[in-house]
Amino acid sequence: MLLLLLLLVLLLLLLLMMMLLLVLIMLLIMLIMLLMLELLLDLLMNLLLMLIMVLMLLTLMLLWLLLLLLLLWLLW
């Protein structure tokens, strides 16, 4: 009877450890996902900044082109 009780307690402890391990694994996965999300957000911000820079450059080039066309039109 005592042996059976001991076995039961050991089984319960094992189950508890497994649950704890599962929770730890889940937390680790959540942490990794959060880090990935952070990296993704960082990447998106960088892409957005690059897009803004490209748009600014394009507008600058368009302005130069318009200026040149205006100059050519005035010379003509």
Residue 12 lies in a domain: no
DSSP annotation of 3: H
- pLDDT number for residue 31: 87
Residue 22 lies in a domain: yes
DSSP reduced 3-state for 5? helix
DSSP annotation of 11: H
- pLDDT number for residue 20: 92
Residue 1 lies in a domain: no
Q: Is residue 4 predicted with pLDDT exceeding 90? A: no
3-class secondary structure per residue, 28-65: HHHHHHHHHHHHHHHHHHHHHHHHHHHHHHHHHHHHHH
Q: Which amino acid type is present at position 41?
A: L
Number of domains in the chain: 1
- pLDDT number for residue 13: 92
Q: Is residue 5 predicted with pLDDT exceeding 90? A: no
- What digits encode the pLDDT tens for the residues 12-59? 999 999 999 999 999 999 888 888 888 888 888 888 889 999 999 999
d(CA 59, CA 74): 22
- pLDDT number for residue 74: 86
User: If you count them, how many residues does the chain have?
Assistant: 76
Q: Per the confidence metrics, is the pTM higher than 0.85?
A: no
- Domain of 21? 17-76
